[in-house]
Amino acid sequence: MLTYEQARRTVIEQVEKGRGPLATANISVWDALGFVLAEEVKTDREYPPFHRSTRDGYAVIAAEATPSSTLRCVAEIKAGDTVTQPLVPGTCVQIMTGAAVPPGADAVVMIEHTNRDGDSVRFERAAQPGQNIVPRGSEAKCGETLLSPGIRLGYAELALAAQVGASQLRCASKPRVAILSTGDEVVSVDQEPGAFQIRNSNSVSLAAQVQLAGGEPVLLGNAADRIDYLREKISRGLLEEVLVLSGGVSMGKYDLVETVLKDLGAEFYFDAVAIRPGKPAVFGKCGGTFVFGLPGNPVSTMVTFELFVVPAVDLLSGASARDLPLVEARLGGALNEKQGLAHFLPARVEWRGATPVVKALPWQGSGDIAALARANCFLVVAADRGQVNIGDSVPILLRKDVI
Ligand code: AMP
Ligand code: MG
């Protein structure tokens, strides 16, 4: 059985090998959050485009602004003002943050370090050449590449694109990810379940996880545990780049997903991983579609999506596969887990000072969604570890959607 690291590597290798050419589209900078760039973004001019003052104060010739010296203030420059007149020796100009420093001036003295009386400005300390000025072109040259293909667009990247006038961005199209839940007991969220039925929460968590990963969910509802129903719905799912199934991959008599996939010509790369929850996770390819069969217990579905589906969505989005958001924390409550499988336990991490302290939450196993909704991370107990004591260092997998 593969470890979860080996299983992730298998996903990455197979998707890198088997993906088709990347489709692209022009996306408005207002809508491009979470898209992956497919084309370079370059500067349209130098940045800053003029010698920019970073303070409210006085533009001076540094050598003239010495302690207790006085200069006559002859003008005022606001941000956005056109500046052509050079600074005349023996004078200073009042200047605002973001305004262009006049030719001839080589320093800006903060207003807090001056005293003004009418036109006369007295300086408290010596000005240093260059102080409080960002020289033209020092952040970027004209035509310089600021953002490269493969970069995921977050708020700072979008602001940078906006700064250089890239209002439309050539991005990779989001991969379409079909979501199909299975199970005779599963009813849709807006339906009243019978006494022994359950609502389809997995399709909801999967759709959210697909969106967070940068994919576009395609909702296919639920298929009952019958070969013919499964075949029809799975065939529909195989029209998309990725198909994610929940349920029907364990050892039960009605766990038929693998059988149907095999009938449809699927090739499997793994059908079990040494983790709990999530051991029966399946990954394969059917036609051109990457298929994930995730176990149906809700926490298993969520964990296995984070571990195995996210890297596939990354690669199909034109990005590289993100590393898992694993960090080290101190254990706040002792644990004793069965060895042989890596455990992912719902947990809460808190930062007290610099050291994160983590505690596993009480839970009823992989069906306990409420426990996961109280968690902000998974505490990872390695397969060979078992006993973990208070104060030990343990890895935690952050829930980036809530932290
Ligand atoms: P399975 O993997 O099909 O054996 O299902 C394992 C457990 O997960 C069972 O208790 C199911 O009722 C539950 N389950 C399966 N599918 C869903 C779903 N779509 N939403 C919520 N729970 C589910
Ligand atoms: Mg089932």
Question: Could you report the per-residue pLDDT of 26-57, keeping only the tens digit for each?
Answer: 999 999 999 999 999 999 999 999 999 999 99
Portion of the chain with pLDDT greater than 90, in percent: 99
C-beta of 183 in contact with ligand 1 (< 6 A): yes
Helix, strand, coil percentages in the chain from 3-state DSSP, rounded to 5:
20, 35, 45
Residues 339-386: pLDDT tens digits? Answer: 999 999 999 999 988 889 999 999 999 999 999 999 999 999 999 998
Q: What is the four-CA torsion angle of 180, 186, 191, 192, rounded to 10 degrees?
A: -170
Contact 327, 354 (CB under 8 A): no
- Ligand number nearest CA of 304 is 1
Q: Return the closest-CA partner of residue 372 out of 165, 193, 201, 153.
A: 201
Ligand 1 pocket: which of 187, 200, 202, 222 to mutate (most atoms within 8 A of CB): 202
- Ranges of beta strands (E only) in 254-365 are 267-270, 275-276, 282-286, 289-294, 326-331, 335-336, 342-352, 355-360
Give CA separation, 247 vs 151, 270, 307, in Å. Answer: 34, 16, 17
Query: Which pLDDT does position 186 carry in this prediction?
Result: 98
Q: How many CA atoms lie within 13 A of 176 on its CB side?
A: 13
pLDDT of 2 over the 90 cut: yes
Residues 296-344: pLDDT tens digits? Answer: 999 999 999 999 999 999 999 999 999 999 999 999 999 999 999 999 9
Query: Which pLDDT does position 354 carry in this prediction?
Result: 84
C-beta of 366 in contact with ligand 1 (< 6 A): no
Residues 72-120: pLDDT tens digits? Answer: 999 999 999 999 999 999 999 999 999 999 999 999 999 999 999 999 9
State how far the Cα of 189 lies from the Cα of 222, in Å rounded to an integer.
Answer: 11
- Ligand number nearest CA of 252 is 1
Ligand 1 centroid, distance to 301 Cα (angstroms)? 9
3-class secondary-structure state, position 362: coil
C-beta of 181 in contact with ligand 1 (< 6 A): yes
